[in-house]
Amino acid sequence: MDNNMRYDSEQSLETMLKEFVNISMKEMHALIEDVNFDIYSEAVELILGAESNGNRVHITGIGKPAHVAGYIASLLSSTGTPAYELHGTEAVHGSSGQVKPGDVVIAISNSGETAELVGTVTTLKNNGAKIISVTGKKESWLAKNSEVFLYAGVSSEGDYLNRAPRASILAEIFILQGLSILLQCKKNVTPEQYIKWHPGGALGKLRDDEKKIS
């Protein structure tokens, strides 16, 4: 993307929007090539093993990935894997007490080097937690200090600054949505079960095709 591009006309704004969409789509297609089912299976088995021992799943991140953590915790909880959002900075000020030895923590960071998250993950590991990392840097501290590493890397965020998390956030969400699919399938979540956890709104009603199956 041309860093000297100016935005003094509607056409240039339209161009920037199209460029962002095109770059984001290319990044997602490239990421698909790095999706490794064997690594996903390790993450699934780590979570299922923890649950079988009475342990829990927590999701954490710093900055924008913290918002991803909240969404993924909600998504997992609604599809059969109870999960809890863990505040990325408060964890070193006592909130790590919500994590028991043997719990699984999914830690999200594009760089995998964010100082606050390094401190949080170090604390969690010292307290006996198992770490699943989601990061865009394969050689990062976070990737190297986790039991399972899920790659969510992009080469461009999709705009001329290439700083604000955009495409990298899409990648993190995409990768963790994939994990949620596998867990949902392993647990054979039915429409009836889903509705019990999500009774409100249109999602809380059986569709006609589901009624025929039930």
Domain ranges, ordered by start, for the chain: 10-188
DSSP 8-state code for residue 99? P
Alpha helix (H) ranges present in 79-202? Answer: 115-126, 141-144, 167-186, 191-197
24-48 pLDDT per residue, tens: 999 999 999 999 999 999 999 999 9
- CATH number assigned to the domain covering 10-188: 3.40.50.10490
Q: Give 140-174 pLDDT, tens digit per residue.
A: 999 999 999 999 999 999 998 999 999 999 999 99
What whole-number distance in Å separates Cα of residue 56 and Cα of residue 52? Answer: 10
**111 near 4, Cβ under 8 Å?**
no
Instruction: Give 11's pLDDT tier (boundaries 50, 70, 90).
Output: low
Tell me how far apart the alpha carbons of residues 89 and 207 are, in angstroms, rounded to a whole number.
Answer: 42
Residue 14 is predicted with a pLDDT of: 86
Is the confidence at residue 100, as pLDDT, over 80?
yes
For residue 28, with 0-12 CB atoms within 10 Å meaning exposed, 13-18 middle and 19 or more buried, which class applies?
A: middle
| pLDDT, position 211 | 76
| pTM of the full structure | 0.93
d(CA 174, CA 152): 8
Is residue 180 a contact partner of residue 75, using CB atoms and an 8 Å limit?
yes
* Average predicted confidence (pLDDT) for the chain: 93
Q: What is the pLDDT of residues 190-206, one digit of tens each?
A: 999 999 998 888 888 88
For residues 169 and 34, give the distance between their C-alpha atoms in angstroms, rounded to a whole number.
Answer: 16
CA 211, CA 191: separation in Å to the nearest integer?
A: 9
Q: What confidence tier does 214 reach under pLDDT thresholds 50, 70, 90?
A: very low
| pLDDT value, residue 208 | 79
Q: Tell me what the mean pLDDT of segment 107-128 comes to.
A: 97
Q: What percent of the chain has pLDDT over 90?
A: 83
* Token pair in block for residue 211: 């009624």
CA distance 154 to 30: 8
Q: What's the chain's Rg over C-alpha atoms?
A: 19
